[in-house]
Amino acid sequence: MKILHTSDWHVGKVLKGQSRIGEHRDALAQLVEVAQAESPDLVIVAGDLYDTAAPTPEATRLVTRALSALRRTGAQVVAIGGNHDNGPALDALRPWAEAAGVALRGSVRDNPAEHVIDGTTAGGEAWRLVALPFLSQRYAVRAVEMYELTAAEAVQTYADHVGRVLGRLTESFDEPDRVHLVTGHLTVVGARTGGGEREAHTVLNYAVPASVFPGGAHYVALGHLHRAQQVLGPCHIRYSGSPLPIDFGEEENRPSVSIVEVSTRTAARVREVPITAAAPLRTVRGTLAELAKVDDRTAWLRVYVREAPRAGLREEVQELLPRALEVRIDPEMLPTSSATRAAQRAGRSPRELFGDYLTSRGQADDGVRELFDELYEEATK
């Protein structure tokens, strides 16, 4: 069977005040084109469909239309909730999803059978997919309790709970006549983060070892880390990565989707198909003269200016580079001297102290000093 594995769409993402809804629309349209060209039997969307738990109507329309378009390619479609998604809100969309032929699992349900999805390809290959949405610490304990695996003890770790839940859901993976699949939204120990993951959910307490996945799984389709990569483990474990760079920490990532071919008799073979529709993210450094030579009208830019700080510098940079979303002074241009000490401040006027501060920051703009004088005089009348 052939699988298209994608994740971490983050529809609704705003980058430094810049809406990226148009880029998301283009990236998801390209993803649908890949599905049309590849004709997969199954599409897996491994969480973080949205960037926020309260998506806008526009973001909701984009996601539901993309899922519907993927289903219209003839593929079965399964999507799960991630840590950025509102799991119960996704579950509320299940009547629509079922009518559209999409299996949507937003949060862990009381009945474990709801997370085991069976299907058969047009060629007659039977498959079984365990679909596990993102589990927070609290809900990992609750899931263990309601599946009656064991009494949840306070000393147990998050990884213990996730492992027990997956063990319960994959009990049937010893059957020889099916392709056994898992999808989840979590961090696996040893995987490389990609810059855009929410740090609170990628620290050690939220990471699980690859051993939580059964050796009988033919392919594990993960979301949460935005860098496409395979993870060493007892089976084929892979992150598809995000189809567009989410923030400037991901400018070196190569957005793509994963095309997987696997059967009960052959190991998973994976190809990355690039998704190029969204604007790249790029960091540039230089003086104003050097920045004036930057010729990039497609990327969103983060700019480190190698000039002494002064009023109006940001505006000058943005006039040169209209696609600069973030403008900072290069840290190398900031003085590191500790000349201004508390002992030196004694007996000095507010104007003198402010002048010392400007000097310590490499700021020599008389206009700023004059503005301070005006504001100080008004505040002390």
Tens digits of per-residue pLDDT, 61-90? 999 999 999 999 999 999 999 999 999 999
| pLDDT(117) > 80 | yes
Cα–Cα distance for residue pair 269/314, rounded to 1 Å: 49
For 153-198, what is each residue's pLDDT tens digit? Answer: 544 678 888 898 899 999 999 888 999 999 999 999 989 887 665 5
- What backbone phi and psi angles, to 5 degrees, belong to 135? -115, 120
DSSP labels, 106-136: -S--SSGGGGEEEEE-TTS-EEEEEEE----
SS3 3: strand
For 260-286, what is each residue's pLDDT tens digit? Answer: 999 999 999 999 999 999 999 999 999
SS3 303: strand
Q: What is the DSSP letter of 191?
A: P
Give the model's pLDDT for residue 199. Answer: 52
Which residues are CB-neighbours of 110 under 8 A, at least 6 positions away?
146
- What backbone phi and psi angles, to 5 degrees, belong to 338? -105, 35
Give the model's pLDDT for residue 338. Answer: 47
Cα–Cα distance for residue pair 169/214, rounded to 1 Å: 10
Average of pLDDT values for 306-313? 87
Average of pLDDT values for 4-25? 96
Give the model's pLDDT for residue 207. Answer: 85
Which residues are CB-neighbours of 81 under 8 A, at least 6 positions away?
47, 49, 87, 90, 105, 106, 107, 133, 134, 185
Share of the chain above pLDDT 70, in %: 86
Average of pLDDT values for 28-39? 98
CB 195 within 8 A of CB 253: yes
Nearest C-alpha neighbor of 64 from the set 109, 117, 11, 119: 11
Confidence of residue 109 (pLDDT cuts 50, 70, 90): confident
CB 119 within 8 A of CB 71: no
Which residue pairs from 324-331 have beta carbons closer than 8 angstroms and sit at least 24 positions apart in sequence? 325/15, 325/16, 325/17, 325/18, 325/300, 325/301, 326/16, 326/248, 326/301, 326/302, 327/303, 328/302, 328/303, 328/304, 329/304, 329/305, 330/285, 330/304, 330/305, 330/306, 331/304
Its pTM stands at 0.83
- What backbone phi and psi angles, to 5 degrees, belong to 53? -70, -10
Give the model's pLDDT for residue 155. Answer: 42
Which residues are CB-neighbours of 216 under 8 A, at least 6 positions away?
170, 173, 174, 180, 235
> Measured in whole angstroms, how far is the alpha carbon of residue 11 from the centre of its chain?
10
Residue with tokens 């943005």: 318
Give the model's pLDDT for residue 142. Answer: 66
CB 222 within 8 A of CB 276: no
Confidence of residue 146 (pLDDT cuts 50, 70, 90): low
| pLDDT(380) > 90 | no
| pLDDT(15) > 50 | yes
